[in-house]
Each structure stands twice: as structure tokens, then as C-alpha cells.
Structure 1
Amino acid sequence: MPRRRNPCSYLPRRLQIVTSLAAFLLFSILFLGTAQSDPYVKAVPYGPQLQSGAHQAVDAAQRAVQSFPKLPKNVVNAPAWLNPFGPPAHKPAEQKNSTMGEAKWFSDWKWQNPFSSSITMDEDRSVLPPERARPPIYTYFDSSSKGKDEKTQKAEKQLLQVWRRAWWAKGFKPIVLGIAEAKNNAEYRKMQGLELTAEMEAEMLRWLAWGNLGPGILCNWLVLPMAGYDDALLGFLRRGEYPELTRYPGLDGAFYVGSKVAVDKTIKTALASENIKQVKTIVGAVPKNSFILDDKHDGIAYYSTAAIKAKYPGLHAKLDSEATRADGLSLLAPLINSHLHQAWQNTFPSGIAVLHPLPKRTTTIHTPAMYIARNLTQCPDSPVPASCPPNAATCRPCVATQDRPISTPPVYRNDSTLFTIASVPHPYTLISLLYSRSDLHVKFVRRETDRDPWISATTDELLGHGPSSFARLRPMKDAVASEYSAHRTLWLIAEKPLSVATEADREELDWFFGFQLPRAATSNGKSITPVPGPERRPSPPPLSPYHDSIEPPPTPEQLATEEGFLRDSTAAIMHAGMLKVKNVQRNKGVVEAWNLADAEIWRFVRAWEARRSVERKIWDEEEGKFLGKGVFGRWAV
């Protein structure tokens, strides 16, 4: 007897399943449904009853929503991928001077969002906090070379550079004024008709130049910030609001603060004064109530003739003689530089922390940071070793016998007495080093590696084990770029660190710290002999970041292996588009997708470092127009 075949067997298997399910549902509706005579039917809402109940539920929900407080639409910044069916959004307009090499950024108050791409619509553009306004601070320099030899001119220009670098590092925009700004003031002609003393003429010229640009701060180029970034006076000056004309007793008229209206009024009052031809300063030519007096200026040091004579008699003896004045001036710049370095060291008594999470096989990443830390803890060269700046009666001078610790904690510690230097690796670099391989294909990354190991290890002590890697991004960005942390930390990217190999990189560090770092690991202090040999020098701190770690230091062979992987990963990350290897770009994208938080903080640090450099270079170019580095230059080093 022939076997009967199921009609459905002629259909594909998936269609058989669909047909069977449809038949079962139809059978259930037709034969298992309840009739109208069922006593339970009346208890079940249907038709108009069901529709009426639905309308009531919707109305109640709308009333509840309307009772909620209204929030502005821009409060919630949900990523676009959470609503794939929503309307597409344009990228924000690219801001001026917002790129440097591969680094791109967008300045916005929403910089603390975990992921910048939710705002910029660009994976490679990081959101940074808006640049802090730098109030101008002016000094007047007589660029005339009359009566000055070449050595004197060079020494004066070096002192100007020290002055500019120190004030820039404290958050100001230093501007050097000259006779051109004074002549541009409307009151200059009136001054020309008066027979003033040489001292009063020089005083009026600097005030006229200041009045031509004001408001702001006018100070002598031997007045320097000699305190921490968060000093009370420096914090007040950085706000840029000076409602009253203020002078500071003890600084001998070398430091004034005021608005343009007040400055112009004081200039006019002084020029109209009857005794202007007899006085030597503007204070003596105006009424006593023209200035507000503020004697709280411990954070500022003035290297006046009187201060040098009292504190550094050997240097004063050189400055007081015409034959040796140029030699004395050339020694003043390294003396001030050493005091600035010393003041910075005293700001961080706990020393320097070189952040070193996941220490196994990552020594090469942190070696540049250790080099910077070692130079920061050295005593700078000084013509007067173990001396204090003029604003400090007593201080803790830098001497070779002091312990200036360098620690290598595996976690970030928010300590105001500790300066932190960190090299942030790209996740591609970190995985290459941790697993000693450069072939980072999808299967290996997905199955063999942990997600976001760097940020998890770095914030382990700060946040504990509970928070996700995404929740760690905001505290980590605060540690890099908040107003509290920006001057207490130095963040670099491991693939392109602020190397100490070139003079340009060294100079970038000098402008960040406000003083010139020692170019070699040497120390000056009371224990140094007049002619020390190499065997008499104190040994510098060890360069290896393993000197206080539980991990054993790597062997030379292991270091060479690490350097090779670092070179390969740097080429893959910084120049992936130019490489001929087909899989490099894909593998890099795979690693970044698997380590979203680590990749985000790396881009953030890269952009933060680049913007800091761009800001200074733009200012330097703008000021270069007035420095005139040529035959007709006013001043230039």
C-alpha cells in the first residue's frame, strides 16, 4: 500500500512550521473560544468596554506625566544610538584652532559626559572644558640699547623670558609693553611738555603704556609669582575683576592692579599735579586715597635692589659695580629660576607619583614619566645655593641631603600634596604589551582579554570594584582637566609622550611648570663641594618605575621586547591610515570597540595635551608680532 504524504511536506521546513502554527491558532479561535451564553463572558471586558478602559488608562497616564516638573530638552544628552529611529543630527561646527595632528577637540561645558561622541558626533573628537580666560599682566621694558653692552642686553632678555614663563604657568597672559604703547596714549603729548625727573619719566611711560591697553595688572619684570597655583592672591588676580586701583606696600610701586577707568583717571590727576616735577613715583603725585592698599602679597616675590642687597650680598656686589653689572644680571636669571623650582617643590611635600597601573610588562610606557619626575626632584643650578626667595623669610631650600620621594602607585590618588605624572596607553598598546603579541584579531580580543583594564585598575582605590568602566570615565576626566587637578597632574599619551629628547619638548615642559627643568640629573646644595666630581655627586633617583613595586624589575631582554611592541603599536595607532598592512586598521577598531572607556580617556588626554600646546603657541605667535625678532626688534632672546 503506498504511503500517504503530508501535503505540508511539499513546503520548505521553515514554512511548514509557520503553517502549522497558523493552523493551530485558527483551530483554537474557532473551536475553543467561549460562546456568548458562557456565564463568564460578561465578566471579561470586550468591544466598547475594552476600548473605554484603554482610553481611561491613557488619560490617567497623560495626567501623571503632565504633573511631572518640566525639564529643558538639553538636559538629557542621550547617545544617538539609543534611538536609532530618531532623526539624524548634524555634527557641531568645528571650532577654530581645534586640531593638532591626529588630535581633535571641541570645547564645551558638557565635557564631563562619559563619551564625547554623543556630543561631537565624531569618534575621534574629544570634548574638553572651555579654555580658562587668562587675564593680561603687563610689564614695561625699555628696549633702548643706549649705554648697554651686548651681555647686559642678553641678560635682561633672559630675565624677561623667565618673567613670561612664570606668569604663564600660573594662568596669566604676560604682555611686554614698550615706548610704542606709551606714545599711543592720548596723554603722552601732555607729558612731553613737562620737565620730569628721569625716574618720574620712566614711571609715567609705563603707566601710559598700561593705560593704552588696561585694565589688568602692571608689574615690574623682576616681580614673579612665588607660590602654588591656588595661592589666594593669585586666585583673586586670575578672576580678572579689579574694581579698585590697588597697590601693594612692600613691593615699592612694582605691582599695581586696577580698571582702565581708574588708571586713566590716575594718569590725568598725576599730570595735572603741581608737584609732579619734584616726585619720583606716581604715588607721590596723586592724593593718598587714589589707591587701595593690600599688604597680603606673600605669594609674590620682588627682586628689588634692596632685597638683593639684604639676601644675596655677593650678587649685589656684582650688580653694584659697572664693571661686573652684566655678570650680575646673567646670574640673576638662574637664581630666580631655582627659586621658582624650589617653590614648586615645596607645594608638593609628598613628592611625585608616577602612575603605574598594571606594572607587569609595561615599564617602557612609564619610563619618560620617570625621567620627568627625576628631573623635577633634582636641585636646580643656582649661583646662591640653598637660598630663599625675597618673599620668604624662611623656607625649605633644595639641598642634596633632603629626601624628595618618587613613588609609583598602581592607582590614582587624589592628594593635594602629591603631584601625579601619568602616561596613558592606547588599549591597542596596552594589550600588545600585556600579552606580548601584535596580532590582535577579533577572536583573541573578545575571548582572551578583559575590557577596559587600564581605567579599572587606575580608579580601583578611588571608586572600588563596583562601578562599571563607563561610570569611571567622569572621575577620570575630572582628574585630568578639572580646575582643581589641572595644575596638580601631568597627563601624557604613551605613544607620543612629551619626550625629553628634543629641546622643543623640554621647552614645552618648562612653560607648563613655569621654570626651566634641569637638563641633567644633578643636585645643588650645601653638601656640594665647589668643584664636585662625578664620584662626589649624590646619586639620582632610580629611573626604573619598579623601585617600590612588588613586581621584579624587567631584564634588558624584556625591555627590548617591550620597546619593539611599543614601536609597532605606535605605528598602528598614529599612522594606521598610511600603513600597507590590511588588518591593522580593522584590529585597531576591534580593540577600541572592546575597550570603549580606555579608548575614550586616551583620546581625551591626547586632546588635552594638544590643546595646551596649541594655546601657548598661538599666544607666542601673536606676541611675536610685537617682539620683532629682526633688525628692528624691540626685544628677543
Structure 2
Amino acid sequence: SVLPPLVERTPIYTYYDAGRTEDGEAGEEVMNAVLLTWRRAWWAQGFRPVILGRAEAKRSALFEGAKQVKGEMEEEVLRWLAWESMGGGILCSYLALPMGAFEDPVISYLRGGEFASLTRFDKLSNGLYVGSKADVAAALKAALADPDISKAKEISDVVPKGTFKVDESPKSIAYYAMDVVKAKYPKIAEELPVSTSKGMRLLNRLINAHLHNNWRTLFSDGIAVIKPIRTHMTAIVEPAVQLAEYLAQCPPSPIMSSCPPNNKNCKPCVASTPMRIHTPPHFRNNSKVYTIGVVPHPWTTTSSDAFTKAIDVPFIRRRSTRDHWLIQATKQILGTGVSTSPRLVKFKEAVASPYGAAHSVWFTAEKDYPDDIDWHFGFVVPRSGANDGKSQTPVPGPERRPADPARDPLDGVMPSKKELAKERELLEYAKMFGTTPEQQRLIRAVEAWNLGDAEAWRFARAFMARRTMERRRWEEEERRVTGGKGSEKVGRG
């Protein structure tokens, strides 16, 4: 299946000087988890997160002139030197994270990667800068020429007025600067002087909870698990429904009722109504609904719909509905009487366009969703249900956790235990089908009869495989450069 060209990701840089944590190995492990959270969140928004260090700073032509800088400003200057050596672009604190929609104006502007002016953002302090290499170098030279640079807190303190363009504070960027943590999250701030690693671990969990709850808020109309064929397809969509339930639940958090720094008026999960999960028969283009699609192979569709393994070529041609899954899935947006080609175009847009990929995830029925699904969403997706018997973080005061995710009464009648067992048996059979020459002949026949369904299945499979491969290749490249900083293999936190 032909995929659209891979969109080049705009780099976003952060700086971390390994080996300087107060808590030794434990501190490094926690900081790795913090960096991982930062990388995952920006990757999900379409960026290529890059962790810089002292090695990159030393590559700057201005490094020798910066050796006289001491105190807290030393690391800030090293950070800028590393950024300058990379050619400018976006410099971001690892405590500044995107908490807005994919199409948010500021996030879209950053993703565009074109920055005419050296810019900082009101109320973000040194959390986020953008600029060209020339502008970054000019600001650095001006700052290093100031004899009082070691007394400053930020580069902007020691450069001429007009060096920076100052944009208004972005509503879609949450910056967990230490002064913000002290003011908004005293429970965490109290831990930091006692144990930096414990305090940062709590902060990392809080950030992940805010990222997850921000996602829940963006999709306020709930999660749609597409179920185009209403009978005998419950087993096929089971993994997607389970994923939806994981996403719909309240994320564990050290401060359950808190809001991120960029949104003091958020709706904490504990105070909200359950996130709606429904299994509509058709795909709908609703920006407030997140779609999870499971695309079955035509053989899986045919055997499940017929509720039997006894499928042969005459059965396929005489008794099965051609392109049943694709026609039903696109019925609401295209109606009836439309050929396969425009249906495939709409389907592929839903799967692979930048907007579609940010508002949905699609995988095939014959394989589970990938292990790295966290990177698709930008936060750690819970791997257990809200009421599976495991302990939950207590909620202070009169607030209570929401009830189970709300299910739509229009989802239809659930199959009996016996029927569901048969559905699962047929699905497992379909996963293994195609190992003998006769089975391969039937596979070719069912694909030839269902060209649209077969192409939709191939496309969804190929797109998910490419997405996973793209991330793994980038991960491997980064690991070689950074030594594993911010890597899942070092620790997930």
C-alpha cells in the first residue's frame, strides 16, 4: 500500500548536563524519566525532541569565550551554546510541555520551524525560545560581553533591549519551573529540599497526569471505537474498547485535583463526568471525539460476519457482502452509491493525514496495538482498569473518582458468553489463517472480491508499522548520541 510521504519533524532541543544531580544514580534515574516524559509529549505533537549536553556546547565557536561565566548562569550559557551549535530553532526546558490540541496555533507555529525573530514568551521565563542561528549567536555574544553576566538569571537580563521579541504567554505550553512548583504544588515543593529525586519523581507523575487529563479534556465528546458491522464483531473491537477504557479513566496523580500551570481553570478528572465510550457503526469527523479503529482483513470480516470457518470461493462470491467494512465505516460521511475509490481516499485521510493521525489511531484486527502506544498519545497510558481491584490514590475532601466510563446505549446488544467465545475462536483462527496453499488461495480470492477492504487493511497496517519504525530509528540514533538519556530502556519512571 502506498503511504503519504513521511512528514519531516521539526527538532526541538532541550539541555541536560548528566552527572550533576545531587542524589547520584537514583537522581539520574529520575531525571531520565523526566526527560522521557518531555520527549514523549513533544514527539506525539509531531516534533523531533533532541537532548543536548555539554558536548554540543563545546562545539560552539563561542565556547571559549564563555568559560568565565560562573554560578547558576553557567548552565544557562552552556544551554544556549549547545543550541547555537545545532543551528538555532527551538530551545525548550525539559519542564516545558505541550498541553494543547495538535492544531493549536502556537504548537502549529513551532512545528512550522520558521522563526524570523529571536523570541521568548511572556510568563515562561527561560522555558521556551525560538530563533535562527544568527540571532542566537548575536544574543550570546552580547550576553558574554556583559561583565555582570554571572549575576544574571537569564540571557535576556544581559542583552540590549530589542534583542528579543516577546510574544504573549501561550495557553498551550505548561512550564513547571521551580517557582511555579513552589507556588502551585507545595506538596511536591516540600519534598525537593529533602530528596530531589523523590520530589522530581512526584513532579514527573504529576506532569504525566496533567498530560493525560489534558488529552481527556480535548476530546470532550468521548472516544469512538468504530464497529461498522454490528453483529459478531465484538471480539474484534475488544482490544480497542480496552484501550478506550484505559484512556478514559482518571490518571493516577500525586495531587488529584490539580491543574497544569497553563490552565488554572481546568476540570480535574476527579470532578468531571465519566468520559463517554461508544461504538458507532460509522466514522464521524468530529474534532471533539477521539476515534480508535480496528481494521479487519477481509477474511476476518467474512468469517466473523458469516459466523463460521466454513468459507470457500463460492461462498465468498455469492453470500458475502463486497467491501462490507469500508462501505459501512464511511457511510455517514459519503452516503450510499459511492464507489470504492473515494471511500478509500476518505479512509486514508482519517488514518494518515496530520489532523487525522492526531485525532485517531488505527490498527489491524489480527495484531494487538503496538507496545509503544504511549508515544502516540504523549503520556503513559494506564495498563489496568480503574476497577480491577488495584489500589487507587485517595482523593481528599468530598471529591470522588468518576464512575466507570459511560457506555452508549446505542452500542447494541452484547453477545452472549457463548457467542463471544465463538467470536474469539473465529478471530484466533483468522490470525493463524493462510499457512497452507489452499488457505493462501482463499486469502487471494477474498482479497480480490474485497479490493476496498483489503486496501484499507494494508494501508492501516503499513501506516502503523511505519510510525513504529520511524520512532525506533530515531530512538536508536538518539541513544547513540546521548548515551540513552530520556530512553525507555533506562527507565520509564
Q: Which residue of 1 aligns with 2:189?
A: 316
Q: 1:516 to 1:146 in 2, by over 3 A?
A: closer
Structure 2 residue matching 1:583: 3-state secondary structure: helix
Q: Is the 8 A contact 1:248 1:297 kept in 2?
A: yes
Q: Is the 8 A contact 2:210 2:260 kept in 1?
A: yes
Q: Which residue of 2 aligns with 1:412?
A: 283
Matches within 5 A, 1:198-237: 198-237=71-110
Matches within 5 A, 1:448-467: 448-467=319-338
Q: Which residue of 1 aligns with 2:430?
A: 569
Which of 389, 394, 400 pairs up with 1:530? 394
Matches within 5 A, 1:369-380: 369-380=240-251
Q: 1:188 to 1:466 in 2, by over 3 A?
A: same
Q: Is the 8 A contact 1:197 1:280 kept in 2?
A: no
Q: 1:416 to 1:221 in 2, by over 3 A?
A: same
Question: After superposition, what is the alpha-carbon deviation per residue over 1:108-148, rounded to whole angstroms, capped at 9, x for unaligned?
Answer: xxxxxxxxxxxxxxxxxx11111111111111101024643
* Alignment of 1:151 onto 2:22: no
Matches within 5 A, 1:415-430: 415-430=286-301
Matches within 5 A, 1:572-591: 572=433, 576=434, 579=435, 581-591=436-446
**What's the offset of the Cα at 1:469?**
2.7
**What's the offset of the Cα at 1:537?**
7.5
Q: Which residue of 2 aligns with 1:540?
A: 404
Q: Which residue of 1 aligns with 2:217?
A: 346
Q: Is the 8 A contact 2:290 2:360 kept in 1?
A: yes
Which of 600, 603, 617 pairs up with 2:472? 617
**What's the offset of the Cα at 1:629?**
4.6
Q: Which residue of 2 aligns with 1:188?
A: 63
Which of 364, 377, 380 pairs up with 1:516? 380
Q: 1:401 to 1:349 in 2, by over 3 A?
A: closer
* Alignment of 1:257 onto 2:130: yes
The number of aligned residues is 482
CA RMSD of aligned residues (A): 2.1
Which of 290, 306, 318 pairs up with 1:447? 318
Q: 1:516 & 1:495 partners in 2: Cα distance?
A: 24
Q: 1:427 & 1:171 partners in 2: Cα distance?
A: 32
Q: Which amino acid aligns with 2:198?
A: D
**What's the offset of the Cα at 1:538?**
6.2
Structure 1 residue matching 2:294: 3-state secondary structure: strand
Q: Is the 8 A contact 2:349 2:356 kept in 1?
A: yes
Structure 2 residue matching 1:399: 3-state secondary structure: helix
Q: Is the 8 A contact 1:219 1:254 kept in 2?
A: yes
Q: Which amino acid aligns with 2:380?
A: Q
Q: Which residue of 1 aligns with 2:416?
A: 555
Q: 1:531 & 1:415 partners in 2: Cα distance?
A: 33
Q: Which residue of 2 aligns with 1:431?
A: 302
**What's the offset of the Cα at 1:492?**
0.9
Q: Is the 8 A contact 1:522 1:537 kept in 2?
A: no
Structure 2 residue matching 1:288: 3-state secondary structure: coil
Q: Which residue of 2 aligns with 1:471?
A: 342
* Alignment of 1:131 onto 2:13: no
- 4+ residue runs of structure 1 moved beyond 4 angstroms? 536-539
Question: After superposition, what is the alpha-carbon deviation per residue over 1:203-234, rounded to whole angstroms, capped at 9, x for unaligned?
Answer: 11001111111221111110111111111100
Q: Which amino acid aligns with 2:445?
A: V
Q: Which residue of 1 aligns with 2:356?
A: 485
* Alignment of 1:306 onto 2:174: no
Determine which structure has more spread, i.e. the larger CA radius of gyration.
1
Q: Any gaps of 5 or more consecutive residues in structure 2?
A: none
**What's the offset of the Cα at 1:531?**
8.8
User: TM-score scaled by structure 1?
Assistant: 0.73
Q: Which residue of 2 aligns with 1:177?
A: 52
**What's the offset of the Cα at 1:151?**
2.7
Q: 2:142 & 2:149 partners in 1: Cα distance?
A: 10
Q: Which residue of 2 aligns with 1:626?
A: 481
Q: 1:139 to 1:455 in 2, by over 3 A?
A: same
Q: 1:389 to 1:445 in 2, by over 3 A?
A: same
Structure 1 residue matching 2:411: 3-state secondary structure: coil
Q: 1:156 to 1:128 in 2, by over 3 A?
A: same
Q: 1:453 & 1:595 partners in 2: Cα distance?
A: 8
**What's the offset of the Cα at 1:281?**
2.2
Q: 1:531 & 1:243 partners in 2: Cα distance?
A: 47
**What's the offset of the Cα at 1:163?**
0.5
**What's the offset of the Cα at 1:324?**
3.2
Q: 2:402 & 2:105 partners in 1: Cα distance?
A: 36
**What's the offset of the Cα at 1:583?**
1.0
Q: 1:609 & 1:531 partners in 2: Cα distance?
A: 38
Q: 1:385 to 1:379 in 2, by over 3 A?
A: same
Q: Which residue of 2 aligns with 1:284?
A: 157
**What's the offset of the Cα at 1:153?**
2.2
* Alignment of 1:163 onto 2:38: yes
Q: Any gaps of 5 or more consecutive residues in structure 1?
A: 1-125, 499-504
**What's the offset of the Cα at 1:392?**
1.0
Matches within 5 A, 1:266-277: 266-277=139-150
